Amino acid sequence: MEQRNELVVCAGLTKTYGSVKALDHLNLTLGGGRFVGLLGPNGSGKTTLIKLINGLIQPTDGSVLVDGQAPGVHTHSVVSYLPDRGYLNDWMRVSDLIDFFADFYADFDRVKANDMLQSLSINALDRLKTLSKGTKEKVQLILTMSRKAKLFLLDEPIAGVDPAARDYILNTILSNYSEDAAVLLSTHLIADIERVLDEVIFLKNGVMTLHESVDTIREEHGKSVDMLFREVFAC
Amino acid sequence: MQWQLRGDRPIYQQLVEILTEQIVSGQLAAGEKVPAVRELAAQAGVNPNTMQRALADMEREGLMHTNRTSGRYVTEDKEMIDKIREQIASDRIAEFLAGMSQLGFSEQEVFRLLEKRQEEGNQNGTEK
């Protein structure tokens, strides 16, 4: 389960909004089989980076390659993306959404999706709009994780769900990402997830200040990633 | 099986300690087959890569070995397991004595306290 290939390569990746540099000359390589935490305070560029990798926005400068190609038709077929907000149609039933995803993505696994719905006691016949905020998030995450993708981009996937479901979801992500797939997950809830991460990236004002394995950080600093984060980003 | 992880040290090191304790306590018996990496990782709630690293460490220390065709096993060397068990015990005792000395107890006083505890235990007919 070592690093095998270069799944994501960012070179001098820059995105500016007017005079604001959301992302500033980011150089980053992510390999397959890694579970990577993307950490940084609000407005540090986490969502911008995820959107650039997914091709939802275009870089102002520099480049990003996913599976050897610029974001486009091919990369969409190998990247499974969970946005930081709801985007699914409210009137649809959960079962409709499963059909929808199965039509859309060749790598979607219905059996897996239904298993996860069952484990979290979600009724597939419920309409999305009748579900609570946390349950909606669980549904979105289940749909995202039921693909056999090479790269999972998860933007704040666990913020809205309760701690028990959080554990289940993390275990689901862990057991579902195949050995050469990578997960890039942005979050503020570092303490909850650091034991499942291989490596972390710290973003500060659009600049990557750290890209290191969790155990190396603990070894070198004698503290958890959560503690280090609080120290580095102390207000 | 308990997998309590602390924040201040590398996770793989803590996994090695927990696995070692499982072996010396007999939870994982000598010669027993070790569960698959992913299964152990799921139990502990950690990343499979981290568990893999811990298991590799266990092999390096000779407490586990991999059979090319049938998986990973706990060592059959009971002598080695006993030795490590005693090592852990003596580490714990040193730790305990250090704690007691911080409270101002000399080793002599600690022995007396332990003896007293044993006598009381015998009187109550319960040994702890």
ipTM: 0.76
- Name the more confident of B7 and B115: B115
Q: Do B9 and A226 touch (CB under 8 A)?
A: no
Task: Give residue A95's pLDDT.
Answer: 95
- Interface residue A4 vs chain B (CB under 8 A): no
Task: Give residue B105's pLDDT.
Answer: 93
B34 sits in the region (left: phi over 0; alpha: psi -120 to 50; else beta) called beta
Q: Do B45 and A198 touch (CB under 8 A)?
A: no
Give the residue from A207, A210, A211 showing the smallest Cα distance to A14.
A207
- Interface residue A219 vs chain B (CB under 8 A): yes
Q: Can you tell me the distance from the alpha carbon of A42 to that of A167, in angstroms, rounded to the nearest whole number?
A: 24
Task: Give residue B102's pLDDT.
Answer: 95
**Band of pLDDT at residue B125, cut at 50, 70 and 90:** low
Q: Do B49 and A1 touch (CB under 8 A)?
A: yes
**Band of pLDDT at residue B16, cut at 50, 70 and 90:** very high
**Band of pLDDT at residue B126, cut at 50, 70 and 90:** low
How high is the mean pLDDT in each 10-residue block of chain A (235 residues)?
A: 71 94 94 90 92 95 94 93 89 95 94 92 94 89 91 88 82 74 89 89 93 92 90 85
Query: Which one of B7, B11, B41 has the shortest CB-CB distance to A215?
Result: B11
- Interface residue A192 vs chain B (CB under 8 A): no
Task: Give residue B6's pLDDT.
Answer: 83
Q: Do A174 and B41 touch (CB under 8 A)?
A: yes
Mean pLDDT of chain B: 89
Shortest Cα–Cα distance, A127 to chain B (Å) = 32
- Interface residue A162 vs chain B (CB under 8 A): no
Residue of B nearest to A195 (CA): B46
Task: Give residue A76's pLDDT.
Answer: 93
- Interface residue A115 vs chain B (CB under 8 A): no
Number of A/B CB contacts below 8 angstroms equals 58
Q: Do A35 and B12 touch (CB under 8 A)?
A: no
For chain B, list the strands marked E by DSSP.
Answer: 64-67, 71-74
- Interface residue B3 vs chain A (CB under 8 A): no
Instruction: Name every residue whose Cβ is closer than 8 Å to that of residue B44 and which is 6 or more positions away in sequence.
Output: B3, B5, B15, B18, B51
Model-wide pTM > 0.90: no
Q: Can you tell me the distance from the alpha carbon of A116 to that of A169, in angstroms, rounded to the nearest whole number?
A: 9
| End-to-end Cα separation, chain A, in angstroms | 38
Q: Which amino acid, residue A172?
A: T
Query: Which one of A171, A214, A222 has the shortest CB-CB distance to B11?
Result: A214
- Interface residue A164 vs chain B (CB under 8 A): no
- Interface residue A177 vs chain B (CB under 8 A): no
- Interface residue A224 vs chain B (CB under 8 A): yes
The tens digit of pLDDT for each residue in B60-110 reads 999 999 988 888 999 999 999 999 999 999 999 999 999 999 999 999 999
B128, pLDDT greater than 50? no
- Interface residue A218 vs chain B (CB under 8 A): yes
B5, pLDDT greater than 90? no
Give the residue from A115, A12, A118 showing the smallest Cα distance to A60.
A12
- Interface residue B27 vs chain A (CB under 8 A): no
Residue of B nearest to A194 (CA): B46
The tens digit of pLDDT for each residue in B25-58 reads 999 999 999 999 988 988 888 988 899 999 999 9
Chain B hits for A2, Cβ within 8 Å: 49
Tokens of A201: 């990236």
Chain A hits for B48, Cβ within 8 Å: 1, 174
Bridge-based pairing state of the strands A35-39 and A199-204: parallel
Coil, strand or helix at A89: coil
Residue of A nearest to B3 (CA): A195
Task: Give residue A178's pLDDT.
Answer: 65
**Band of pLDDT at residue B114, cut at 50, 70 and 90:** very high
